[in-house]
Every structure is written in structure tokens, then in C-alpha cells.
Structure 1
Amino acid sequence: MLESIIIKDIATYDSVGIKMNNLKKINFIYGANGSGKTTLSKYIHNSSNSIYATCNLEWKGGLTVNTLVYNKDFRDRNFGKGKIDGVFTLGEATKEEIEKIEKMQKDLAELKTKGIEKKASLDKQEQTKQQEDNEFKEIVWTDVYKENEDDFKDAFRGFIKKETFKDKILYEYDNNKDSLQTIEDLKEKAQTIFGKTPIALSIISSIDFEKLLEIETDKIWNKKIIGKADVEIAGLIQKLNLNDWVNEGKNYIIENDTCPFCQQKTITENFKKQLDDYFDETFIKDIVKLKDLSTEYNRISENIKNLLEQIETQEKEKTDTKLNIELFSPLLKTLISQLAANKELLNNKAKEPSRSITLTSTRKQLENIQETISNCNSDIKSHNDIVADYTNQRNNLINAIWKYLIEGHHGTIETFVKKQQGLSKGIDAIKKQHQDLKEKYTELNKKIREANKNVTSVQPSVDEINRILKSYGFLNFEIVPSQTEPNQYQILRQDGTTAESTLSEGEETFITFLYYLQLAKGSTQEDNITEERILVIDDPISSLDSNVLFVVSSLIKEIVKSIKKDLGSIKQMILLTHNVYFHKEVSFVDGRTPKNGDTNFWIVRKNNNLSSLQSYEMENPIQSSYELLWKELKNTQQNSGITIQNTMRRIIENYFKILGKYADDDLIKSFDNHQEQEICRSLVCWINDGSHGLPDDLYIEQQETILEKYLDVFKQIFVKMGHEEHYKMMYREQEGELAIVA
């Protein structure tokens, strides 16, 4: 059965369109010509057409049912080719054969009902599962993603949508075997790995300072470098401690015999020889060593100083330096000061070799500096190891983060997984049961088709159509089986000539509709005449006169009754019409059934070339003016009391005076005693006065106090006149509902 229809983006339906919800067994749709009814019927007939891509039909239990649509297209398809396809119905079947088919049909209907119920149960389970899934998705998004987004956003890349994040949580729950780490460690690693993509850093060169320390400890610095003691002049030089002074002046007399001190020609070859003997080879070697070591020390210390200053400058400029600058800079400053002091001592020693000096040891400073550099290089190596293995390190950190998140919400995840597993098992079981029912349904339906083939005939349809034609005065033509084509009809005049081309529009419409009704009960295929079906009838009386209008409505009402009683293969009907009289006639069942749970009403309207739909549910919107008067009277609490007098007067006039030919006195005399007659007279006077004049405020106040009393007198008029049943029917006193009749 159809449950809802969505139609949009076609003809007069815009992109919003309409949705016809809560379709019942019987559905009446009223609308003026051009309001969009035919578009609706055409869509139902051919819903697979690409022009209806945005429209949709929703079926109960997801099971589609064969739909038979009557509209102008139906007439053109079936009565525009000279011959008409025969309609197979249960023809010459025995009572036993029909009962057997009916039994199988009943079993088939039960299977279908069970299948729909099972599908509904399956849908409910799947909805529950989906709801649990949605709730869990929101929980992990709020409690896991949002809470950790700032710290671990990089770990969540690729999973920043609720659905994918939920799926990732469940995957990690099943597969993550990493060891658990603390949140502090994870955050610290995240700052390094999830920050700017790291690049390799250069190792700082080590300092070779062993030679410098070796020079600093050489014995030459403590040695007093003086001349040879056994030379004649040695006693005087050493006594006066003139070694350095004489040695310096010696250079001036090598090529000269003038004394550099007294400027007299006192320098003899013997004196020169004594000086040469005093400053012998040992002295010269010590002086050479002294100068070489001083030069080398200055060179090495300057190189070390320049290298360390360069390291300091470069590392200070780096934002990601691993060198402890706060420790390195003071150590370097102290070292430079020590080297400067030693340089000064070396200069003094060079000038006065006979002096003994002790150089400041730079070992501790250099070792501290070297340790600082070594620590820096160790950090650089660790950093470079991460860079070299960045992908693995990053993946390991991400896995560790997910492990931490899962463990932190283990209870919530575990509860959800167990619920989903339970629901999945239940769903699988219901799916299997549903599939078994579908297979049984298919098999039984196949048996019914085979049984139908053996007991079907087109003749009953011919007889039924001709019977109805003759019953309603269509005597100059009839429908007969074709003599040349099997399972075909022809429309013939009494003289045997073909009548199809000479039929009036009304005659063609009527016989087309009779053919449609037979098709609704049978089929053009002999194996599926008992298949369930839905009827969609679009304006079947467009060209019919008023007499035939009642015939068609009577035929349709019989179908309505069978649908409501669930008899036969027709399970649902949708009727569309623009004729208000036909609508009222076909929707009227009996005066005692104002509303029915199997029936719904709609009105389709077109405004500014756009179609819209209004639902009235079980309330028939098409009513007579007389019915509306009773409805007005029924709703006294919602309406102004001023209008009630006019409403009562018009009801009494229409029913008793116009139809019943009663006068006011007849109504008054129907009461038994004088007192009651006076009350009735006062009502008649009251309603006549109130319906022809405008009460003032004082009278309105008085009217509200006596309204209930007059309503009772109004009812008693119907009782006394013998028309209480009419009052009950219209007012629905016992059921509390106003009758909807036509």
C-alpha cells in the first residue's frame, strides 16, 4: 500500500512541491481543473520516468504494489487502436477451484502482512541501532575530540568529521595494542613532532685543546734561561742579573766594536768571544723553544677563541638551538680572559727569558666548554634521529595518543560495542526471517499464477460490461470478443459495424471506465488476475451527464466498501476529481458514518501557477450549506453567540418550512402543554428577532445566559415533530461528532 507521495520539480509543482502523508485505504483528492491532479496520476502510473527524478513514492513495508491508473492517457492507450485487450477474470472455474485460489490468496495476504510486520520490526531495530550510533557519535565527538583538539589536533587529521572520528575510535578500540603513556609525555612529544616539520641540525665541531694544555704545562716557562756559568764574564752578568739586558745588547756588537752602552770602542774580539761562550748553544735552543712555543700557543689560543666565538654567534641566531647559551657564554668569556692573561705572560717571558713564569691552566674552562658542546651535540643527534625517522616517530606518537584516548573512555566504548553487537545479531535474525517470508511469498504467488491460468476467461468481463451498459440505457452498441484476434474486444453496433469511431465522448468515457473496472478486478494477463493492486482514478465523469454520474459513483462506492472490508485484490484507492457533486456523491457512504479511519481527504489548489496541497484527514471538506449550518450550531463555544439565532432560524426554515411545509404554529402546537408551547414560541420569536437585528450589549449579556436553554428547546422541536433521528444524525449528540454527509 502507498503510504506517502512526494512530487516536485514537475509541471505546476515547484522545488518544494507537496508531500501527501498518511495515505489510507481510501483517499479523496478534490481540485479544480489545472490544479495538478493529472500530473499526480501520471507520476503514479509511470514513476520510473526520468522527468520525475525528484519525486518519490513510499510504500508500506517497502513493498510495491501494482498500480492501475485511470485518466485520459488510459483512454487513449486502450481505445485508440481499434481493438481492446481482453480482461481475464475467474470465468469457468469450479467452486472448489475458486475456493482453493481464495485460500491461497488469503495465505498470501497473511504472508505479506507478516512480511510487513517483520520489515517494520527490522526497521525499528535498525533505527534503534542508528540512534545508538548517533548518540555514541555525539558523545565521543564532545568528550574525546573537543576535549583534546588543542593538544592533539594533528593526530586527528583525516578524522575531523563526526562519522569518521567515531569509526576511527572503534577501529583503534579493536586494533590498537600500543603501551599506555602518560598525558604529559604525549603532550611533550606532540610539541616536537606536531610542531613545525623538523629539519636536521649540524653537529658543532669539537675543540682540540690538548696541544694548548701541553704548551701551558711545558717546563720552559719556569726555567730561568741564562748563559754559561764558567765563562769569565758570567760572574758579573749573573751577579748583576743582567742576562736579559746583555743578551738584548749583544745583537748590537756583532758587526761593531763600539759599546752600545758607553759608545766607546771598547769591544774587543775577546769580549765578543766571551759573550758567545756565555750565550751558548743551550741558551740559544731554549730561546728558540721559548719563541716557538709562544708563537704556537698564541696561534692555537686565537683559533680556539675564534671558533668558540663563531659558535656562540651562530647558535644565538638560531631559534631551535640545542646549545645552552646561558652556560656557554660565561664559560667562553672566562676562557678568553685566561688566554689574554697567558698571552701577556708569554710576551714578558719572551722579553726576559731569565724570568720564571707560570701560565694559568685553561683545562677546566675548556673541558666545561667541551662538555657543553658535547651535550648540545647529543641533543642534536637525538633531534636528527627524530628527523631521520620522522614518519615512524609521528606514527608511533599518533598510535600512542589514540591508545590513551581509548583507555580514557574504555567503559563508554565497550558499552556501545556490546549494544551494537546485540542489535546486529537481532537484525541479522530478523533479516533471515524476513527473507524466509519473502521466499514463501514468491513461491505461493507462483502457485496462484499457475492456478489462475487454468480457470480464467475474458468472457465474464464482456458479459459484465454489456450488462451494465444495457442496465443504464446504452442499447445501440455492445462489446464483444474479437473473431480474429484471441483475447481482444471490439465495440460493435447492432448491425455489426464497428462503433468505436462513432461513439460520443460521454459514451466513450463510460465504456472506458467500465473496462477499467473490469481490469481492476482482473488482468490482461491470465496468470496475475488475483494480484493485489491499487486504483488511481482521475476524473472519471468529465464528459458524462448527471444520470451516469450517479452510476459511476455507485460503482466506485461498491469498490470502496470491498476495500474497507478487505475483500478482493483491490487494497487501496486514490480518487481525484474537479466535480464537487461527484465528490460529494462518491464520498458519501451512509449517514451514520461521519468519519472513517480508512478514509482521508485532500484539496489540491493552484495559486500563481504553483500547486499546493491541504490535508483534511478524515474530515470531508466538501459539504452542503445545510451541513455547514449544523456545524456552526455544533461549534457554539468557538463561535459568537450572536450568529446562533440566525443559524437556528435557517435550519428550521430549510428543514421544516421549505422541505416539510410546516408553519411556525405547527412547530409550536407539537408541544404537549401550554407552558412548553410558550417556551417554543419564545424561541421562534427570539431566533427571528436575533437573525434580523443587531443586539445591543445588554441583550448580548442576556443572550449568553439563556442560550443553553434555547438550544434544548431547539432539540425538542425535532423530538416533538418526530424527527429526532435527523437531529441525532446531524448533531451527533451521542458520539459528539457532526455528520459529514453529501
Structure 2
Amino acid sequence: MITRIDLPLRVPFDSEQTVIDHLNRVCFMFGPNGSGKTTVSRLIANESTSADPKYLHWDDGGAISTYVYNRDFIEQNFRHVDNVPGVFTIGKDSVEAQKAIDDLTAKIEKEEKSAKAAQANLDQSEADCEHLTGQLQEACWQIRRDLPGSFQPALKGTGKKSAFYDKVIKTLSSLQPDEPTPDAQELDQNATLVFDDTKTAVPQIPPVDFSDILTLEETPVLKKVIVGKEDLPITAIISELGNSDWVATGRHYIGEGPICPFCQQPTITKDFKTQLEQFFDRTYADDIETLHQTTNRYKSLTSEASSQIEGILNSYASFLSSDKLRASLEEFRRITQLNLSALADKGTNPSLPVTLGSCSDTCKEIASLLESAREKVGEHNRIVSNRASLRKTTTDSIWKYISLQAKPRIQPLQEQAEVLAKRINGLTSSVQKSEERISSWRANRDTAEKRITNVRETADTINDLLVRFGFTNFKLDVADDNKSYRIIRENGDLVENTLSEGESSFLAFLYFYNLMSGSQTTTGVSEKRVVVIDDPITSMDADVLFVTSSLVRRLAQQARSKEGPIDQLIVLTHNITFHKEITYSRAGDGESQTSYYFIRKRVGHSTIARCAKNPISSTYKLLWQELYSADCRPLTAQNVARRIVETFFKLMGGIDIDQLVSGMSSPDREVARSFLSWANAGSHSAFDDETFINTGATTESYRHVLESLFESTGYADHCHHMIQLAQQSQAST
């Protein structure tokens, strides 16, 4: 069923966008000639067959077959009187076949409802799945945003969320359940090398040797008490005083003479000098020399090692655990500095034994850190030298890392997606099976219809109606092909172009009416359809008009009851009598399923308004509505006022209107004569030398004079009642 029509901005609906909405099972549209009724019917006809409709809106059932009766239909089907397309209907005597077709139709309709419900659930499930897929893609995309720049070459071809998500899912499906996650930092380093052709090999980290330093820390002389010879006379006094180191230092101040450099007395004898030289013999000198060499070498080696490590820190930072190595270096410097202080003390007091602090553990830590860095340098150089072959391996590792990062985020959503996928598969299967059943039943129905449909039943029905209403000089005759008709006279001759307009109109409508319960092919007789009828009573006399009205009412009843193929009926007319007849319905006939519309002609364009109730009650009532409408023009008001007077007072009789007018005072008298002159055209030459000129302000004058006439004749209450009805009608539309 059509629910809304958006009329394009075309003549006569070109002033503003016009929408015909709230269409019901039965729709009646009233409008004068030239107001745009045929424009509406043609739009429906064209849109219903368009592959891309823009102006028609359908209910949930979607578009169905649409039949439009207007001048185009008549021209298309009655262009050749010897080849009118046949109307196939089911023969009246095919009761059992009709029942079988009805049963199939009922099954089809029931299955269509089931398929429609399943399709609605399927559409919703697919929408939910699409939304869920969007969430999955976004979850993966968030991971992509946080990836280091070095990974970008591995992500080529996945610049869209959907492609990136698909790659993640594909990678996850190829991994083992306990697959470890690659190290991100290591991947970053490898990717930088593999994908950056500017990266080159790096010289290996030079070795740092701590063995000599550790050996010097254990030099025996450091723990030795270095003193002079023990079997000399002065040994006793030196030992007793414990000033061997003081004497060793002081002896360097003794000169050639006997004067002591400290007490300035002649106490320095030759024998004393000899004993001093003998006390500090060669052994003592060698120990002192060994001590000095140890101190100097320890200082040199530790300084060199410290500088070497510092250089490595500066040159190989990207390969090192720099913080750890820096801390170990500081510890090394702290220990060696303490040891150098101890060595300095030993040098000042050789007789004092010293034990140096060991930096063995620190050296091992430094050596371990440097060895780890060397391995990284080696790996770096290996990757650089094998860059081409490692790109695929690195790319695979990157995607493994990404996918394992995404897994905990998307797993709950994937579980929901799996449930939806099963539901979608089930609903898809259900819809497909329904469509297969519907297709099979339709094929069976078409086969049944082909066997029992014929064009002769329609011809007999139409001919019977023609005879009953006095059209006895022409009829429909089934052509030799049993698929079409000829329009012939009683003697068998073709009518050619000799039918009157009224005869043609009635025949065409009877043809269309029978088509609504049939088809122009051997199948499709039972298909649902929308029926549009545009002014079918052109040139018909009163009797035929009432017959046509009765048939249209029957179509309306079928649409309201939903029994038969008529799903919706839209009727457009300008004839008030016909409109009154087709809109008549008994109580309970489905007035709630009926919509009314009024098409008005404005200056240069038309408008369509939906009415709360039937806007046309009678010609007489319509005249009052026109006269008291806000846009009634002077010339229109003059003619309408005349028709109201003519209609009412002719009906009442016995009232001399001319006498009443003569008794009026000016200017009411002239106004009344101006519209009464239309009723007496030819009986008066002029207004007895009195004139009245229409202006924009005279419409109210016509209303005033009309009311005066009714008051003068005692029908003021009637006049006021009709004015009130007219104003109420204006307000409702």
C-alpha cells in the first residue's frame, strides 16, 4: 500500500513542496478540472514501474502492482478497436479450481507474512552484526594507533579499519593456543633495521680487560711489612720506636757532614751512615719499587678501563642497558678510588700492610652487560646483512604481536558475533525456504490459472452490462487468438471511430473494472494491486454515472475488507455527484480506513490538503463554502451568489425575486441586480441605466446582499446555518 506521495515541483504543484500523506486503504481526492488530478495519477503510474522510485513511499509490504485508469490507460488499451488486450479471469464454473487457487493464495499470503517477519529479524540481526563488527574493527584500530612508527611498513594494505581487522582475524586463526607474544622492544629494533635501508653494520664493541686490575689487587707486597735489615745495632732502636718508615724517609735528608738535619748536632757518624745503608738493603728497595709499580699500574689500568667503558656508553647506547652499565661503572670507580687511596697510604707507610677492596663482582657485571650488548650488535649486523630475507619474518612477527594484543579485547565481542552469525544463518535459511515455498506455490497457482482463465468471461460480463444499460449497438468480441478483443457492431463490423465519447468512456471503465479481478496475461489474476481511478465519468449520462459509482464503491469495499486482489483504492474526480455517490458508506463499512483530500486551484498553481472528513457534501453546500472562503474573488462571488439564489428560490417557488430587488435601497439594489442579471441573460439590456463595477472590495457586498435577500423572504435562519456550515468546513480543511 502507498503511504505517502511526494509531488515534484512541477506545474501545477510548483509553488511549494506538496506531500500527500496518511494515505489509507481507500483515498478520495476531489478537485476541479485543471487542478492536477491527472498529474497525480500519471506520477503514480510512472513511479510504480520505475526501477528507482523517488516520490512514492510504500508500507512494510513494499511495492506491488499498480493499475491506473486515466486517459493514458484508455489510449494505450483502446488505440486499436480490433486489438484490445484481453482480460483473463477465472471462469464462473471453475469452483473447485478457484478454491484451489484461493487456498494457494492464502498459503502464499501466510508464508509471505512469516517470511516478512523472518526478514525483519534477519535485517535487525544483520544490523546488530554490522554494529558489532564496527566495534571489533574499532577495538583493533585502537591498537594500530599505538604502534611504533617502525611497524608501519608491515601494515601496508591495511589502511582501512575493515582490512586491518580482517588481517588480525586471519593471523589469530593461524596461531597456536599457547603462542607467546613477541617482545615489542625487540620487534621495534628489528623493524627499524629490516625496513630502513639506510641502516648499516656497526663495529663490534671492543673488549675491556679487567684481569690485570684484579691481579694487582692481590699483589703480595701490599700485605707485607716493608722494613730494614734486622741484625744491625740500630735495628733494635728502630724496632723499639717503630719508626722504620720515618727513618726511611728521614735518611734522605742526611748530608755529607756529621750534623743531624733534625737536631743540628754532630751525631751523624760514618758508622751510623753505614748501618743505615745496611738497614735499608736491596730487599727493602725492591719491595718499595714493587709497591710503586703496583700503585702506578693500578691507577693507569683502572683509569683506562673507566674511560673505555665511558666511551662504549656514549657510542653504543642503543645496544646497552645504559642505566645498569652506568651504575656498575660508578661502583667500579668508587672501589678503585678507595684502593688508590689505600695504595697511597701504603706508599707513605710501607711497613703498614693493606688489603684492597675487590671489584671482581662489579667487573663481572660490566663484562656481562658488555657481552649482552655485543650480542645485540651481532644481531644488528646479522639483520643488516640479511635484510631482504628477514622482512617477511619480521612482518609476520609484527602481526603476531598485534593480533595477540588484540585478542583479549575482541574475544568477548567475537563470542557475541558468533551467536549472531548462527542466528543470521538460521534466519537466512528460513527466509530462503519461505521464498522457495512461495515461488513453488506461485508457480502452481500460475499453472492453475493458465488452465482455467479465459478472456471470454470478461467479454460476456461487459456485454451483458452494456445491454442492460441501453448500449446495444456495439459489443466486445473475442478475437481469433483468444487473447484479445475486437469492438464490433451487431452486424460484426468494427466500430472504427464511430463510438460517442460517453460510449467509449463507459466501455473503457467496464473493461478496467473487470481487469481489477483479472489480468491481461494468463497469470497474475490473484496478485495484490493498488488501483487508481482518475475521473471515469466523463460524458456519461446520469444512469451510467450511478452504475459507475456503484462499481467504484464495490472496489472500495474490497480494499477495506482486504478480500480479493484490491489492496488500495485511490479515486480522483471533479464531479460532485459522482464524489457523493462513491464516498457514501453504511455504518461499519470502514470509514476509519478512508482518507479525504481536497485539491484547490490558486492563482497559477494548485494545492492539496488532507481533510478530517469528507469535504464535499452537496453542490448547494459547496456554493456557500466557496462564497464564504477567504480567497473568493469578486467575479467568482458574483456568479456563486447568483447560483445560490437560483437554486434555493427555484426550489421554494412563489417568490418574486425581481420585486424584492426593486424594493431594496441603493447600493444593495445594484449589487443584487448585478448577480441576478446572470439568471436573466437576454431579458434585460442593461441595469436600467444604473451601473455597478466589481472591485476587490465588492465580495463582501455580494455576501451582504445575499443575506438581505434571505432575511427579506423569512429564511434568515437557513442563511445563517449555511454560513456557519461553510465556515466550519473552511476551518476543518
Give the TM-score band, short-chain normalised.
0.5 to 0.7
CA distance in 2, matches of 1:625, 1:601: 17
Q: Is contact 1:122–1:430 with CA below 8 Å preserved after alignment? A: yes
Q: Is contact 1:82–1:500 with CA below 8 Å preserved after alignment? A: yes
What is residue 574 of structure 2 aligned with on the other side? 579
SS at match of 1:522: coil
CA distance in 2, matches of 1:88, 1:595: 30
Counterparts of 1:77-476 in structure 2 under 5 Å?
A: 77-81=76-80, 83-89=82-88, 97-119=93-115, 121-122=117-118, 208-221=209-222, 293-310=294-311, 323-324=323-324, 328=328, 331=331, 334-335=334-335, 337-338=337-338, 341=341, 344=344, 355=350, 361-364=356-359, 367-368=361-362, 371=365, 374=368, 391-400=399-408, 431=431, 434=434, 438=438, 441-442=441-442, 444-453=444-453, 456-458=454-456, 460-469=457-466
What is residue 521 of structure 2 aligned with on the other side? 525
CA distance in 1, matches of 2:17, 2:574: 27
Question: Partner amino acid for 2:97?
Answer: I
SS at match of 2:511: helix
SS at match of 1:52: coil
Q: Name the CA shift for 1:566/1:355 in 2 (closer, same or farther; >3 Å).
A: closer
Q: Name the CA shift for 1:554/1:430 in 2 (closer, same or farther; >3 Å).
A: same
Structure 2 residue runs of 5 or longer lacking an equivalent are 148-154, 194-201, 255-260, 262-276, 381-393, 626-644, 656-706, 709-716, 718-724
What is residue 532 of structure 2 aligned with on the other side? 536
Deviation at 1:241, TM superposition (A): 9.3
Could you list the per-position Cα deviations for residues 354-376 of structure 1 after superposition, in whole angstroms to 9, with x for gaps in the alignment? 94576662424x63475478579
Could you list the per-position Cα deviations for residues 653-710 of structure 1 after superposition, in whole angstroms to 9, with x for gaps in the alignment? 99999978999xxxxxxxxxxxxxxxxxxxxxxxxxxxx99xxxxxxxxxxxxxxxxx
Could you list the per-position Cα deviations for residues 139-193 of structure 1 after superposition, in whole angstroms to 9, with x for gaps in the alignment? x979xx99x99999869x999999x99x999999999996899xxxxxxx99x95
SS at match of 1:323: helix
Deviation at 1:301, TM superposition (A): 1.3
CA distance in 2, matches of 1:241, 1:492: 158
Deviation at 1:102, TM superposition (A): 2.5
Q: Name the CA shift for 1:624/1:304 in 2 (closer, same or farther; >3 Å).
A: farther
Could you list the per-position Cα deviations for residues 113-163 of structure 1 after superposition, in whole angstroms to 9, with x for gaps in the alignment? 4224433553575588689x599969x979xx99x99999869x999999x
Q: In the alignment, is residue 556 of structure 1 matched against residue 552 of structure 2?
A: yes
Q: Is contact 1:7–1:40 with CA below 8 Å preserved after alignment? A: no
CA distance in 2, matches of 1:218, 1:427: 90
Deviation at 1:400, TM superposition (A): 4.4
Q: Is contact 2:555–2:566 with CA below 8 Å preserved after alignment? A: no
CA RMSD of aligned residues (A): 7.0
CA distance in 1, matches of 2:15, 2:366: 79
Could you list the per-position Cα deviations for residues 306-348 of structure 1 after superposition, in whole angstroms to 9, with x for gaps in the alignment? 2344567789x999966258955763562463365367569x5
Structure 1 residue runs of 5 or longer lacking an equivalent are 182-188, 250-260, 262-275, 632-652, 664-691, 694-713, 715-729, 731-737
Q: Name the CA shift for 1:98/1:662 in 2 (closer, same or farther; >3 Å).
A: farther
SS at match of 2:591: coil
Q: Percent identity of the aligned residues?
A: 19
CA distance in 2, matches of 1:319, 1:18: 75
Q: Is contact 2:69–2:534 with CA below 8 Å preserved after alignment? A: yes
Q: Is contact 2:112–2:438 with CA below 8 Å preserved after alignment? A: no
Deviation at 1:434, TM superposition (A): 3.8
Deviation at 1:445, TM superposition (A): 0.3
SS at match of 2:323: coil
Which TM-score applies when normalising by structure 1?
Answer: 0.55
Q: How many matched pairs?
A: 579
CA distance in 2, matches of 1:15, 1:220: 115
Q: Name the CA shift for 1:319/1:205 in 2 (closer, same or farther; >3 Å).
A: closer
CA distance in 1, matches of 2:329, 2:58: 82
Deviation at 1:555, TM superposition (A): 3.0
CA distance in 2, matches of 1:332, 1:434: 85
2:594 to 588, 593, 599: 599
Deviation at 1:76, TM superposition (A): 2.6
Question: Partner amino acid for 2:71?
Answer: K
Question: Partner amino acid for 1:106?
Answer: D
Q: Name the CA shift for 1:136/1:520 in 2 (closer, same or farther; >3 Å).
A: closer
Question: Partner amino acid for 1:516?
Answer: F
Q: Is contact 2:115–2:435 with CA below 8 Å preserved after alignment? A: no
What is residue 589 of structure 1 aligned with on the other side? 584
Q: Is contact 2:475–2:488 with CA below 8 Å preserved after alignment? A: yes
Q: Name the CA shift for 1:51/1:531 in 2 (closer, same or farther; >3 Å).
A: closer
CA distance in 1, matches of 2:398, 2:354: 50
CA distance in 1, matches of 2:432, 2:141: 43
Deviation at 1:212, TM superposition (A): 0.8
CA distance in 2, matches of 1:196, 1:300: 39
CA distance in 1, matches of 2:122, 2:447: 33
Q: In the alignment, is residue 622 of structure 1 matched against residue 616 of structure 2?
A: yes
Q: Name the CA shift for 1:607/1:327 in 2 (closer, same or farther; >3 Å).
A: farther
CA distance in 2, matches of 1:115, 1:623: 43
CA distance in 2, matches of 1:194, 1:16: 64
Could you list the per-position Cα deviations for residues 590-628 of structure 1 after superposition, in whole angstroms to 9, with x for gaps in the alignment? 4656852443334577999999875557x4343448889
Question: Partner amino acid for 1:87?
Answer: G
CA distance in 2, matches of 1:505, 1:589: 27
Question: Partner amino acid for 1:553?
Answer: S
Query: Is the deviation greater in 289-298 or in 104-113?
Result: 289-298
